[in-house]
Amino acid sequence: MQGSELTRAKVRSALVFLAPMLLALALAAGWPLGRTLWFAFTDASLTDNGYSFIGFENFWNSEWGGLLEDGNWWQAVGNTLYFTFVSVALETVLGVGIALALDVPFRGRAIVRAAVLIPWAIPTVVSAKMWGWMLHDQFGLINDLGMSLGLLDQPVAWMANSATALTAIVAVDVWKTTPFMALLVLAALQMLPRDIYEAARIDGIHPVRVFFRVTLPLIRPALMVAVIFRGLDALRAFDLMYAMTANNESTMTMSVFARQQLVDFQDVGYGSAAAALLFVMVAVLTAAVLTLGRVRLTGGAR
């Protein structure tokens, strides 16, 4: 950009003001990320201090396979994608529903709005432990309720069976994160111009049609941002699975896999390779969603 003296001065002062933030970002995010990427190409281990550059061997090699031939890694990828897709889809639908309900004025709305946020406010590890006990096969509340209501013949070991464990984890995540979705959608709903709805009502258009033709297109940008946030969160999900089922392969996500390699197996190189691949996958998926969804993070509605 070629500009006047004034523009150049503005750019200069902007840079000066941005510098501390950029520096902090480089230290807090850039450096660890760079180290992780570097370690991904080494055979570093916590058990001895020496390590050497081994190229792409952590990702693929003919000797012991590497990450791309590791069945556990691909299972972790599958679990993560399943978890992300199902939980974000459910949270979006439920979140929009709850937001629409909370957008209608009624008595005590403020209290309900605050109450809805409670699951989101509880630390994940606490809610994971809480649900772990509620889902317990011998002492759990869910089985007790199911049995006394006649829905279950005998107690189900929700967390022990790999078929139900991932479903249970999705359910807990939906319980926890739907309020976040609802709140973001509610904020978008309250920005909408009321005159459009008046026009629709005068024209006698069915409310369902109004929702799909008017409301949804208008809140779409905000909704997409919320979906991307949740999607990113879900792709690197760790605490819920780790607290509820530890290192169980059938519920392991990519982050749990990377932690197991890094901490339990002391394999800094291999674990970093997994973390690097996780980073690349998150970046690619985000770029894809942004492009396909034509989302403009910069705002500027045109």
Residue 45 touching other proteins (CB under 8 A) = yes
User: What is the nearest approach in angstroms of other proteins to the Cβ of residue 138?
Assistant: 6
Q: Which is nearer to other proteins, 7 or 72 (CB)?
A: 72
**What is the distance between the terminal CA atoms of the chain, rounded to a whole angstrom?**
23
Residue 183 touching other proteins (CB under 8 A) = no
Question: For residues 100 and 182, what is the distance between their CA atoms, to the nearest angstrom?
Answer: 9
Q: Which residue from 76, 272, 277, 278 is in contact with other proteins, where contact means CB under 8 A?
A: 272
Q: Which residue from 166, 226, 262, 277 is in contact with other proteins, where contact means CB under 8 A?
A: 262
Long-range contacts of the stretch 59-63 (C-beta < 8 A, 24+): 59/273, 59/277
Instruction: Please name the residue that has the structure tokens 């369902």.
Output: 208
Question: For residues 258 and 264, what is the distance between their CA atoms, to the nearest angstrom?
Answer: 10
Residue 291 touching other proteins (CB under 8 A) = no
User: What is the nearest approach in angstroms of other proteins to the Cβ of residue 255?
Assistant: 13
Residue 64 touching other proteins (CB under 8 A) = yes
Q: Which is nearer to other proteins, 35 or 209 (CB)?
A: 35
Name residues contacting other proteins, limited to 72-111 (CB under 8 A): 72
- Identify the bridge partners of residue 65 per DSSP, sorted by sequence position: 61
Whole-number CA gyration radius for the chain: 24
User: What is the nearest approach in angstroms of other proteins to the Cβ of residue 276?
Assistant: 10
Q: Which of 223, 191, 230 is nearest to 293 (CA)?
A: 223
Q: Which residue from 47, 52, 148, 291 is in contact with other proteins, where contact means CB under 8 A?
A: 47
Residue 129 touching other proteins (CB under 8 A) = no
C-alpha distances in Å from residue 265, one per residue of 45, 80, 195, 215, 268: 9, 21, 61, 51, 8
Stretch that binds other proteins, among 20-28, 46-54, 88-96, 224-232 (CB under 8 A): 46-54
What x-and-dash track marks residues 25-44 binding other proteins by CB under 8 A? -------x--xx--x----x
CA dihedral sign, ordered 253, 255, 257, 263: negative
User: What is the nearest approach in angstroms of other proteins to the Cβ of residue 15?
Assistant: 29
Question: For residues 70 and 261, what is the distance between their CA atoms, to the nearest angstrom?
Answer: 12
Question: For residues 221 and 291, what is the distance between their CA atoms, to the nearest angstrom?
Answer: 13
Residue 264 touching other proteins (CB under 8 A) = yes
Q: Where would I find the H helices in 149-267? A: 162-190, 194-202, 207-210, 216-235, 239-245, 254-259
- DSSP-assigned letters across all residues of 63-109: TTB-GGG-HHHHHHHHHHHHHHHHHHHHHHHHHHHHHHHHHS--TTH
User: What is the nearest approach in angstroms of other proteins to the Cβ of residue 301?
Assistant: 41
Q: Which residue from 142, 223, 254, 268 is in contact with other proteins, where contact means CB under 8 A?
A: 268
Stretch that binds other proteins, among 17-25, 134-142, 214-222, 231-239 (CB under 8 A): 134-142
Q: Which is nearer to other proteins, 39 or 180 (CB)?
A: 39
Binding site for other proteins (CB under 8 A): 32, 35-36, 39, 44-49, 63-65, 71-72, 136-139, 155-157, 159-162, 245-249, 260, 262-268, 271-272, 275
